[in-house]
Chains A and B, each alone.
Chain A
Amino acid sequence: MTAAMSMGMPTTRPQTTPGRFDAPNPAHTPMVQLIDETGGRIADPDFSLQLKPVQAVGLLRDMARIRRFDTEATALQRKGQLSLWAPLLGQEAIQVGVRAALGPADHVFPSHREHGLALLMGLPVERILAIFKGAEMGDWDAERLRFHHYNMVIGAHTLHGVGYAMGQARDAAADPLADTGVSVIFHGDGAISEGDVNEAYVFAAAYQAPAVFICVNNQWAISEPVELQSRVPLYQRAWGFGIPSVRVDGNDVVAMQSVTDWALNRARAGQGPTFIEAYTYRMGAHTTSDDPTKYRESSQAEAWRRKDPLHRTQSWLRASGVWDDAQQARLDQDAEAFGAEVRAAVDRVQAPRLDEVFDRVYARPTADLAAQRAQALDEASR
């Protein structure tokens, strides 16, 4: 099938006017990749490797830690200590690569699967576990951590991220020497269909907001393949909104770092928003309540296992002479210890107090709520 046919255009169309039919070409999707699946170094004409292998060692450690967090949380859910978990298995390089590029004033607006990035931004393990234990919805100081709240209503937060970036731009105009930062907004391939997300692109472009969209294309929105959401590769859609965009190998941590760094610099230089499609695969179930055997072939995940982000980084670092068996053994040990920390953290999650639910609805509780609070405590104590 030609690109034109798959775009649904007549094959016999006139070709006389340059530019008229030049839609983005879904058959041509050059993806930024700096380290290939076997750990080999690839040269890219547009993006250079910014980290020396020895610097990338830290990224490998972060990915291993995040993976352990995820595995442990999945196990905790199975044991009934969490009511739900949304695994991030396979998406570690995106979160670590983005973190590695962030500057000291940049802010992250996560969706619902950025647990690893949360830890890297300094969130205590138990804050994320508490959400999935049903104990809270986000008890952290987002402004200080520069990591904003999870959002379960798909896509709604993308507008908040753009608005925040508009605020950052105003602050920058008022104080040109200050680093007022960029907003980095995560959303999935499913979310790309929501009206709010499309409006976020419109506003980001209209105001040239210092925003970077990280579209985590893990190929699936629960049971729906990305092809149901979009007939063209996701990054090509951004051009329709006037937002420059690239597709990056989301399993290549140094490529993620390099491209995110470029996008952040564009935003800092007043060049407006960028859209990054991080191309990856959801290796696990959508959540622990999901059953992927109902809707997808396991062979797909098998193929993606060979593109594993940790494995390829290890191979590259070994080949570069900065990683060996002893270091790997130590990393495995560290991960083991971190696993124990995660298990201990889940026990630290406090069930909320009923009265406290009434205290955070308004700045000043209404008389009505105060009465209901008293009634609730009375009834719960019987």
Chain B
Amino acid sequence: MSAGNQPTTSTTLTLAKALNAGLRAALAGDEKVLLYGEDIGSLGGVFRVTDRLQAEFGTDRVMDSPLAESGLIGTAIGMAMRGYRPVVELQFDGFVFPGFDQITQQLAKLRFRSHGRVALPVVVRFPYGGGIGSVENHSESVEAYFTHTPGLTVVSPATPNDAYWMIQQAIATPDPVIFLEPKRRYHEKGQLDLTAPARELHEAAVVRRGEDLTLIAWGPMVRTCLDAANAAEQEGRSIEVLDLRSLQPLDMPTILESVGRTSRAIVVHEAARNYGPGAEVAARLSEELFYVMESPVLRVTGYDTPYPPSAVERDWLPNLDRVLAAVDRSMAY
């Protein structure tokens, strides 16, 4: 990123660096924005997403917190009540749970409880998902806990450009946002358009046009679906890929438009299947497009076990082969 005085309209960055740039822009744009989390200061976070931000904005704006997630989120709520916009980093998906009450019962409900008098513009961001050979509790896909909690919004960027813009849009949102970062994509590069965001925070995006079937994904699985769509093309299949970007709220018009055209859909996510986010998408499609669908909505997901030892994660997670197998099944109807 060039430093402000040099006008730039585009640049190429990794997803982690794009988040860093987005956070920097948010800090520079609003002095009420604070970054808050474990090891985010001099270390820059374990994935370096906040690299050098403390050096640039000071320890008052970029604060290392004691090692306590409930405390971290609870005090972020208090600061938000006082007019600040805390952006909380949790170190990994498996470490949101000590802060679960504060997220699902406090952060999510204060607007409701106070008849709208208390707004909590808090962003809780953390890396999620597997595929990087981690030890236990470092590969979880926890979307459903939060999409199932009214009062929270839940988004996940899949590309560096979305990462850059969506983090800024999330910070500007008047309500709490759970911001899920696809950790296995942190180091993938992409082009950033620095002039303006391509779309609103809660819009879905058709990232590949196709006619036969829509693959629906978000975050880490968007790339997997694009790869599968390209592979399927070799076999003469025209696959559309829809990046949901926002899980709560869902952009139903875009989803219905896409699946309305292709009349087949497969939802792909890393999270376990039962009661997972795919179930909601499938139910909506069946409610809205029952007469249009040519095959039942299928799901390719993690299995209903705890996240396995990483030595077998490749076969446990949705992968290219599993997605292609589901495409075959759907097309066979």
Contacts and interface: CB of A to CB of B under 8 A. Distances in A.
A155 B69 CA distance: 11
Most B-side CB within 10 Å, residue of A357, A368, A382 = A357
B236 interface: no
Interface stretch (B35-43, B171-179, B180-188): B35-43
B288 interface: no
Given A153-B97, A368-B304, A191 B67 contact: yes
B94 A369 contact: no
Contacts of A224: 38-39, 64, 66-67
Given A153-B95, A153-B98, A223 B41 contact: yes
A297 B118 CA distance: 44
B135 A222 contact: no
Nearest to B310: A134
A255 B305 CA distance: 45
A376 interface: yes
A223 B43 contact: yes
A132 B67 contact: no
Contact of A376 (B46, B65, B66, B315): B315
Contact of A193 (B44, B71, B310): B71
A134 B325 contact: no
B95 to A, nearest CB: 6
A223 B305 contact: no
A357 B303 contact: yes
Contacts of B305: 357-358, 361, 369
A379 B322 CA distance: 7
B78 interface: no
A354 B68 contact: no
Contacts of A133: 311
B315 A228 contact: no
A247 to B, nearest CB: 20
A315 interface: no
Given A351-B311, A361-B305, A380-B315, A134 B134 contact: yes
A181 interface: no
A354 B315 contact: yes
Interface string B26-60: 00000000000011011110100000000000000
Given A84-B135, A195-B70, A223 B311 contact: no
B223 to A, nearest CB: 20
B135 A368 contact: no
B79 to A, nearest CB: 18
Contact of A195 (B41, B44, B68): B68
B309 A137 contact: yes
B176 to A, nearest CB: 20
A131 interface: yes
B312 interface: yes
Contact of A196 (B43, B46, B98, B135): B98
Interface string A136-173: 11000000000000001111100000000000000000
A222 B64 CA distance: 11
A6 interface: no
Contacts of A11: none
Most A-side CB within 10 Å, residue of B41, B46, B66, B322 = B66
Contacts of A379: 315, 321-322, 325
Contacts of A156: 98
A7 to B, nearest CB: 18
A354 B309 contact: no
B274 interface: yes
A172 B310 CA distance: 41
B154 to A, nearest CB: 22
B94 A153 contact: yes
A361 B305 CA distance: 6
Interface string B277-309: 000000000000000000000000001111011
A229 interface: yes
B269 to A, nearest CB: 15
Contacts of B233: none
B133 interface: yes
A154 B67 contact: yes
A195 B134 contact: no
A294 B43 contact: yes
Interface string A217-229: 0000111100011
B309 A136 contact: yes
Given A195-B98, A224-B38, A358 B303 contact: yes
A372 B70 CA distance: 35
A199 B245 CA distance: 38
Interface in B145-186: none
Nearest to B322: A379
B136 A152 contact: yes
Given A195-B98, A372-B304, A134 B133 contact: yes
A190 interface: yes
Given A358-B303, A376-B303, A376-B316, A83 B135 contact: yes
B10 interface: no
B178 to A, nearest CB: 19
B94 A354 contact: no
A354 B312 contact: yes
B46 A222 contact: yes
Given A83-B134, A152-B137, A154-B67, A382 B310 contact: no
Contacts of A229: 66-67
A191 B66 CA distance: 9
Contacts of A120: none
Most A-side CB within 10 Å, residue of B97, B133, B309 = B309
A288 to B, nearest CB: 12
Contacts of B321: 379, 382
A221 B71 CA distance: 16
A373 B273 CA distance: 13
7 contacts: A135-B309, A135-B311, A224-B39, A289-B46, A291-B43, A369-B305, A372-B304
Given A224-B64, A352-B311, A361-B306, 19 more contacts: A84-B135, A134-B133, A152-B94, A152-B135, A196-B98, A222-B38, A222-B46, A228-B64, A228-B65, A228-B66, A229-B66, A354-B312, A354-B315, A357-B308, A357-B312, A358-B303, A361-B304, A373-B303, A376-B315
Q: Which 5 A-B pairs have the closest CB atoms?
A: A134-B310, A223-B43, A193-B66, A380-B315, A190-B67
Interface of B: 38-39, 41-44, 46, 64-71, 94-95, 97-98, 133-138, 273-274, 303-306, 308-313, 315-316, 321-322, 325
